[in-house]
Amino acid sequence: MKYVVRVEKKKNLVKVISDLGGEGVSKCIQCGSCMSVCPVTLIGFDHPNKKLFKFVQMGEEEVLLSDPSPWACVACGRCIEVCTQDVNPFSVYFALRRFQVKGFRIHPLAREAVGSIYESGHAIFVENEVEREKFGLPKVSSAARSEKDLEEIREILKSSAISDLGILPR
Amino acid sequence: MVKIGLYICHCGRNIADVVDVKNLIEYFKDKVNVVRDHLFMCSEPAWEMIRSDVASKLVDRVVIAACSPQNHEKFFRSALETAGLSKYLLEIANIREQCSWVHGKNKEEATEKAKRLIKAAISKVKTLKPLEDLKFEVERSVLVIGGGIAGMTASLDLAKMGFKVYLVEKEPSIGGKLIKFDKIFPLNDCASCVVSSLMAEVANNPMIELITYAEVEEVNGSFGNFNVKVRKKQTYVDWEKCIGCGACTTVCPPKAWKPNEFDEGLSKRAAMYIVSPQAVPKKAVHDPELCVNCGKKKLGTRRFLRGGKEYLTPCEKACPTKAIDRSKSWNPKGEILNFNVGAIIVATGYKVMEKETFKEYASHSPNVITALQFERILSPTGPTSGKILRISDGKKPKAISFISCVGSRDVRYHTYCSKVCCLYLLKQARLVKEREPDIDVYIHVIDVRAPGKDLEEYYIEARRMGIGIIRGKVGGIEELPNGRLRILGFDADLGMPIEVEVDLVVLATAIELPEDSRELARKIGLTVDPSGFLKEDHPKLRPVESTLTGIFLAGCCQGPKDVSETVAQAKAAAASVASLLNKEEIQVEPFIAKVNEEACTACGICENVCPFNAIKVKEVAIVDERSCKGCGICASCPAKAIDIQGYSAESITAEIEALVG
Amino acid sequence: MKFGFFLGCQIPFLKPEVEASIRKVMSALGVELIDLEGYSCCPTWMSVPSLDLNAWLSISARNLAIAENLGVDVVTGCNNCFSVLNHARYLLKDEKRKFEVNRILSKFGKFYRGTSKVYHVIHVLSDFVDKKELKKKVVHPLKDLTVAIHPGCQLLWPTRIMDVKEENPFYPEKLKNLVEMLGAKAPYYSRLDYCCGAGTSVAYIDYEKSSYFVLTKLESMKEEIEPDLIVTPCSTCLIQIEEMQKKLKKDGKINFEIPVVYYTQLLAICMGIPANEVFREESAKIILEVIR
């Protein structure tokens, strides 16, 4: 928690966040409707969405890089439905995650999930063919069972900015 | 040879920051007779500069490169006229709105575009011929559309100045929305006291012809002499005989009831009804769609009982003056009235958005109402006689939440601020607190907007009275099983979400232009601006003029306003009308269709295509100068026999060739 | 009627009983589900979308391209997959993004057009299957049963990305109607549209706080409608509510436990499909007791 915001030379974070998919951030007028329905707010995080949007508009890089709130987004999408200015708060929140990732602040769960997708094509993967057979289910037809398809997923990840993060297995 | 003067405006930095004026001067100096620039071409010294160039015969054609002709064309024309030249030998190249303002990022190309626009204007001005204004006699009467506070104020002002006024109102009574209110800010004075006396004055003024329950069907002609067709709707009651006693309304059976518009649907009214206790004129109206045809007696038929006695419906029987005669075959379309006026004031008012639009606010609950509905609850003439009760169960609420910006300041609905909601919510909240101090009252706002005299003080007083002001837009409302409502709010001061449980929710839904006003605008050719309201001619300089000469705007049809502003605008509109009509004759721009009688083959196509019925074809096509609006559709004449003066085929071709060449 | 069946991760690996119920119900209703060969994670919010926009859209587009090649729309039983894929479809309406994604997909001879729509199992049952046919198949209707429905956030919002929408997403009707069609009551309770707290990650960031969501929700339904059963069409919500209910009971915050089922599991039973084919043994016992 920051107690004083010292405004010095402003950094243009609006452009940075927009480029990461949070195009609407400059439109926020701080009306508060997203906060009134946001589960992350209800759960009591220090810097829930609109507060973070203000930090973006003010160019406060430090808070944006370190605050865990964006990682708590449950992706419910209700903020998009109630936003009065078409900010698409949800997308800004995810842009903030990507912003932190660029600064090598990656939530361990995300790191694990991406690793798992690289390994098996699935964020959650467990061997359960015996159990599936019990329910009379066929073998899962996914990339987990096809080396060629898995290679495509890996190629997508490797050719993206994720490869620079050093989290993909060599 | 014509001598052309080119005058380039810097418009402070508006133009000169983007368009390279020096470059333009250099480029044009050999192509015209005189080139001059000025920091503000719309200033007096610049005007004098143009005038003296014309007067000293240095130039006899003028091209101004400046802002839109909408702004100052008349001003520049006057320089030519004063110098003794036809004022229509002038052309404006718009290098501000159409160039510097929109191409700020690309200065070089903007300068190139300015060059082309000026070249086009020069080419056109060469082809122009001297023209004279058209002169018409003036009809010293005015049509005012809408009988709310704006229409009534304007009508009375005009009547006092000696103009005959036709006041047309679509409802059976005048009074507008304001008559529905209890009190009005900032003095909390009685709305009825403000409006009722005006209504009586309007009704009794001999210069005002009150035409209620009527709609404007058609407007033809132009400023100084409009021809107006008004449809007086069928009431099925002889208003000459009706004394407004209301006897017929009380006997109309409950089967024929529906939600009462005057109470915003909170009470019921019968098929036979009088709008309100204060109605002016106080006359009964019959709603045939609602009528259940008592005793199987249909409109326009007689029915005899077995004994040969004629059957009378309850309403007929109840009427002491025999004003209702259902056996008479009334014309369902009513009656068309036809009259001429010199000017028109449109004062058709506003509507508030329906609550049903806002599904996230549990709008299906009867305990979620609009602010206009709450005005009726507060009003002594309303369904609760001014007692603060829920309509759903007649109980006094323990807590009420007011929610502002519902549909306003919201890109999903209207981006504008409805302007009056903050203050009327404060007023309603204060009235609740005054009458029932034990009711908890909350107002949810994005921020409180109370600018101007007495209004901030009004807001501060509301806070002192213990009204909870919660800064933060409400995201949703949930209905609890006991009928209470849970507000999902946000408190910006606390920086926390906030839940409030209340018994009644009042939504300040956005003010917008009603659909029938939009229809009227379409009929008479008014412009609706992007906000959805009627467009004024210039937001600063001509705020009460519409985009059509001779038609004026007053009140909320032009944009959200409070009562004081509405009255001010109505008075301004009346004064503007008077300043124009107080003349023997009026001058009108000559940009109308002109027929070359030798070329005309009298084929009749122009007569068919003219949207204003301004052309009649006999031996040749004849243009009615008063009705022609110069739209140019007729200029598509196959024999090329019609040109629009000032915009001839030659002029337009020259202009286009210069633009693309 | 044919759909590409997008299984996702949770349903096939953690909740095969839910998969079984969807397959059985659909086949009984004559809806053909085609397996998508070589599909991958949608990818879920907490994975690739949190790290890189392009990689997310490419993986989603790759999944959708598989269905496009079969010429079918997609149906999924997981709210998360439904939401991720539809968000991706919405973003890929932007030609520039679409071009970038296809540049990557072209390496494997794949191409994203945007022709296959993405539906939820609930949408197929409420909007595509003939209501009378469905009703006919319900041979064991429920009696005197009060159900708390939990549609799950991602099935409701934002409506702009969906092809089948609730008329009022804040007071949703589709799941309610489907439950009532089985003969049960599904009354409204005030926190019906509340998040279960699972979402992408709250549970991992703050387990305690995450349980608070379930608690709020349970208290609202218990107090307002006293349900016998909770029905959800979301595998994530199903797991979260089941798990958190146990935790809350252990912590002494609640003294009841309401069984939670996936909608098609309940539908399967009403259609006469044996409970042990769509439930694990223990759950089958509990559920049969509740609906008897």
Contact yes or no for B367/B255 (Cβ under 8 A): no
Q: Is the pLDDT of residue B627 over 70?
A: yes
**Helix (H) or strand (E) segment spanning residue B370:** strand B368-370
Cα separation, B77 vs B72, whole angstroms: 9
Kindly state whether C188 is in contact with chain B, defined as any CB-CB distance less than 8 angstroms: yes
Instruction: Calculate how close chain B gets to C159, using CA atoms only, in Å.
Output: 13
Q: Tell me which residue in B360, B480, B486 faces C170 most closely, judged by beta carbons.
A: B360
* Contact call for C40 and A121, based on CB within 8 A: yes
DSSP 8-class letter at B451: -
Kindly state whether B359 is in contact with chain C, defined as any CB-CB distance less than 8 angstroms: yes
Q: Tell me which residue in C23, C54, C278 faces A160 most closely, judged by beta carbons.
A: C54
Mean pLDDT of B231-239: 96
Please name each of the domains of chain A with its CATH number.
Answer: 13-103 (1.10.1060.10), 108-164 (no CATH)
By CA distance, what is A78's nearest residue in C? Answer: C157
Instruction: Calculate how close chain A gets to B544, using CA atoms only, in Å.
Output: 31
Contact yes or no for B570/B157 (Cβ under 8 A): yes
Work out the percent of chain B whose per-residue pLDDT is above 70: 100
Work out the percent of chain A whose per-residue pLDDT is above 70: 96
Kindly state whether B356 is in contact with chain C, defined as any CB-CB distance less than 8 angstroms: no
Chain C residues lying within 8 Å of A110, measured CB to CB: 46-47, 50-51, 201
> Which pLDDT belongs to residue C134?
93
Instruction: Calculate how close chain A gets to C127, using CA atoms only, in Å.
Output: 22
| Radius of gyration for the alpha carbons in chain B, expressed in angstroms and rounded | 30
Residue B534 burial (C-beta neighbours within 10 Å; 0-12, 13-18, 19+): buried
Kindly state whether C159 is in contact with chain B, defined as any CB-CB distance less than 8 angstroms: no
* Contact call for B492 and A33, based on CB within 8 A: no
A-to-B residue pairs, Cβ atoms closer than 8 angstroms: 61
Please list the residues that pair with B140 across neighbouring strands.
none
Q: Is the pLDDT of residue B557 over 60?
A: yes
Q: Which two tokens stand for residue A112?
A: 């694990």
Q: Is C71 helix (H, G, I), strand (E, B) or coil?
A: coil
| Radius of gyration for the alpha carbons in chain A, expressed in angstroms and rounded | 19
**CATH 1.20.1050.140 applies to domain C2-121:** yes
B216 or B300, which is more confident: B216
- Average per-residue pLDDT for chain B: 95
Mean pLDDT of B37-53: 96
- Tens-digit pLDDT profile for residues C130-147: 999 999 999 999 999 999
> Which pLDDT belongs to residue C242?
92
Q: Where in chain C are the domains?
A: 2-121, 131-291
Chain A residues lying within 8 Å of B496, measured CB to CB: 41
Between B187-191, B556-560, C153-157, C194-198, the lowest mean confidence (pLDDT) is in: C194-198
**CATH 3.30.420.40 applies to domain C131-291:** no
Of the pLDDT bands very low, low, confident and very high (cuts 50, 70, 90), residue A47 is low
* Contact call for C224 and B481, based on CB within 8 A: yes
* Contact call for A32 and B495, based on CB within 8 A: no
Cα separation, B527 vs B97, whole angstroms: 19
* Contact call for C169 and B359, based on CB within 8 A: yes
- Tens-digit pLDDT profile for residues B359-379: 999 999 999 999 999 999 999
Cα separation, B562 vs B16, whole angstroms: 40
Mean pLDDT of B390-406: 97
Kindly state whether B38 is in contact with chain A, defined as any CB-CB distance less than 8 angstroms: no
Kindly state whether C165 is in contact with chain B, defined as any CB-CB distance less than 8 angstroms: no
Between A32-41, B331-340, B512-521, C172-181, the lowest mean confidence (pLDDT) is in: A32-41
Kindly state whether B501 is in contact with chain C, defined as any CB-CB distance less than 8 angstroms: no
**Helix (H) or strand (E) segment spanning residue B280:** none
> Nearest 5 degrees, angle CA B143-CA B148-CA B152?
55
- Tens-digit pLDDT profile for residues B196-220: 999 999 999 999 999 999 999 999 8
* Contact call for C168 and B359, based on CB within 8 A: yes
- Of the residues B359, B478, B482, the best mutation for testing chain C's interface (the one with the most C CB atoms within 10 Å of its CB) is B478
Instruction: Calculate how close chain B gets to A104, using CA atoms only, in Å.
Output: 29
Q: Is B217 helix (H, G, I), strand (E, B) or coil?
A: strand
Give, in order, the Cα–Cα distances in Å from C243 to each of C200, C214, C229: 16, 10, 15
Contact yes or no for B134/B625 (Cβ under 8 A): yes
Cα separation, C31 vs C23, whole angstroms: 9
What is the number of alpha carbons within 13 Å of residue B493 lying toward its C-beta?
A: 7
Kindly state whether C190 is in contact with chain B, defined as any CB-CB distance less than 8 angstroms: yes
Round to the nearest angstrom and report the end-to-end CA distance of chain C: 33
Contact yes or no for B509/B368 (Cβ under 8 A): no
Chain C residues lying within 8 Å of A73, measured CB to CB: 45, 199-201
Chain A residues lying within 8 Å of C153, measured CB to CB: 39, 74-78
> Which pLDDT belongs to residue B501?
96
- Of the residues C13, C27, C90, C192, the best mutation for testing chain A's interface (the one with the most A CB atoms within 10 Å of its CB) is C13
Q: Is the pLDDT of residue A1 over 60?
A: no
Kindly state whether C226 is in contact with chain B, defined as any CB-CB distance less than 8 angstroms: no
Q: Is the pLDDT of residue C201 over 80?
A: no
Same fold, C2-121 and C131-291: no
Instruction: Calculate how close chain B gets to C281, using CA atoms only, in Å.
Output: 36
Q: Is the pLDDT of residue A11 over 90?
A: no
By CA distance, what is C223's nearest residue in B? Answer: B481
Q: Is the pLDDT of residue C200 over 90?
A: no
* Contact call for B359 and C189, based on CB within 8 A: no
Work out the percent of chain B whose per-residue pLDDT is above 90: 89
Kindly state whether B364 is in contact with chain C, defined as any CB-CB distance less than 8 angstroms: yes
Of the pLDDT bands very low, low, confident and very high (cuts 50, 70, 90), residue C203 is low
Mean pLDDT of B87-110: 96
- Tens-digit pLDDT profile for residues C70-119: 999 999 999 999 999 999 999 999 999 999 999 999 999 999 999 999 99
Cα separation, C247 vs C252, whole angstroms: 9
* Contact call for C189 and B486, based on CB within 8 A: no
Kindly report the length of chain C: 292
Cα separation, C241 vs C247, whole angstroms: 10
* Contact call for A117 and C62, based on CB within 8 A: no
* Contact call for B364 and C191, based on CB within 8 A: no
Q: Tell me which residue in A35, A78, A86 faces B497 most closely, judged by beta carbons.
A: A35
Q: Is the pLDDT of residue A2 over 70?
A: no
Kindly report the length of chain B: 661
* Contact call for B497 and A29, based on CB within 8 A: no
Predicted TM-score (pTM) of the model is: 0.88
* Contact call for C55 and A160, based on CB within 8 A: yes
Of the pLDDT bands very low, low, confident and very high (cuts 50, 70, 90), residue B1 is confident
Of the pLDDT bands very low, low, confident and very high (cuts 50, 70, 90), residue B535 is very high
> Which pLDDT belongs to residue B74?
93
> Which pLDDT belongs to residue B629?
83
Cα separation, B16 vs B444, whole angstroms: 47
> Which pLDDT belongs to residue C199?
62
Please list the residues that pair with B211 across neighbouring strands.
B168
* Contact call for B489 and A51, based on CB within 8 A: no
From B439, B426, B423, B443, select the one nearest B498 (Cα to Cα). Answer: B443
Between A5-19, B218-232, B643-657, C182-196, the lowest mean confidence (pLDDT) is in: A5-19
Contact yes or no for B563/B452 (Cβ under 8 A): no
* Contact call for B474 and A78, based on CB within 8 A: no
Cα separation, B406 vs B356, whole angstroms: 11
Cα separation, B351 vs B146, whole angstroms: 13
